[in-house]
Amino acid sequence: MLKVLKSGFYTTVQDKGRFDFRHKGVPVSGTMDDLARHRVNTLLENQTGAPVLEITMTGPTLIFEDATYICLGGAKLSATLNNEPIENYHVYKVDKGDILSYGRLEKGFRGYLGVKKGFVFENVLGSTSQYVPLTADCCIKDGQEIGYLPEVSFEPKLTDLKVRSYLDSAELIVDLGPEFELFSEEERNRLFVNSFSVSKENNRMAYQLEEKMESHSISMLTSATLPGTVQITPSGKLIVLMKDGQTTGGYPRILQLTKEAISILAQKRAGDKIKFATSS
């Protein structure tokens, strides 16, 4: 068991997500930064979709009640294991009673904690990802215990991953959205010439952007949306839907973030600048 002494600002269990009930209105959920989850689980030689903890801005304090191996990824949150600093994308052995805690947010916004074989957590509709109202709780609480299978003799093929960090990247590679062509050339250019800043309204459902586009009166019938869909409201506000975002919407879908761009945006917080670009 992993015992949660302090839960941090907003810590959740997330895996690859919940795909099969989109047509009944169930969001995908899953890690906001799939790239970080993928790397953490790869180093631990887990299934890449195995459940991890997603740690937002301020980290938790955790006690391991059984020996295992862990790996951190995503944001840099000044993590320490028994008060010794530890790095992202490195496999560490932990023993019974070891304490993992987090300090200052150095870079990025969402950190990940993976454990050998993944956390054991309630599975709802094919996923362990926390999402109210499907799951009772939105996030991990103080004092909660989260299961994992003890592991004492794991010899990782790779203990360290030297990876290109995308935490400083501000460029979001996009595809053109289904309604892109309905906007004027001037507006379309503006999307790629200007930079935008992340507003205070940002969470697992959606990131709103501060700078507005022109207001418009383009109407459409409600249609499917995806994580990474950039909607534009009639008043010109840009909203990027994220992992817990609604499955359908009635605002024009002007752009669509690539998977990697969703990971990059998931590491941004209020005030951070971003710029859209196409791959070609």
- Residues lying near another protein in the complex (CB under 8 A) are found at 17, 19-26, 28, 124-125, 133-134, 175, 177-178, 220-224, 226, 228-229, 246-249, 253, 256-259
Whichever of 17 and 60 has its CB closer to another protein, that residue is 17
Q: In Å, what is the CA distance from 39 to each residue of 43, 114, 236?
A: 6, 10, 37
Are β-strands 99-101 and 61-64 bridged in parallel, bridged antiparallel, or unpaired?
antiparallel
Q: Could you tell me which of 275, 268, 245 has the C-alpha nearest to residue 107?
A: 268
- The minimum distance between CB 133 and another protein, in angstroms, equals 5
Whichever of 136 and 193 has its CB closer to another protein, that residue is 136
**Dihedral angle sign, alpha carbons of residues 228, 234, 238, 239:** negative
- The minimum distance between CB 225 and another protein, in angstroms, equals 8
**CA atoms of 250 and 68, how far apart (whole Å):** 47
**CA atoms of 61 and 140, how far apart (whole Å):** 12
Exposure on the CB side of residue 181, measured as CA atoms within 13 A: 1
Structure-block tokens of residue 50: 């195995």
- The minimum distance between CB 19 and another protein, in angstroms, equals 5
**CA atoms of 85 and 60, how far apart (whole Å):** 15
Whichever of 132 and 149 has its CB closer to another protein, that residue is 132
- The minimum distance between CB 97 and another protein, in angstroms, equals 37
Structure-block tokens of residue 73: 């990824």
Whichever of 7 and 29 has its CB closer to another protein, that residue is 29
Whichever of 20 and 87 has its CB closer to another protein, that residue is 20
Whichever of 51 and 228 has its CB closer to another protein, that residue is 228
Identity of residue 223: S
- The minimum distance between CB 203 and another protein, in angstroms, equals 14
- The minimum distance between CB 125 and another protein, in angstroms, equals 7
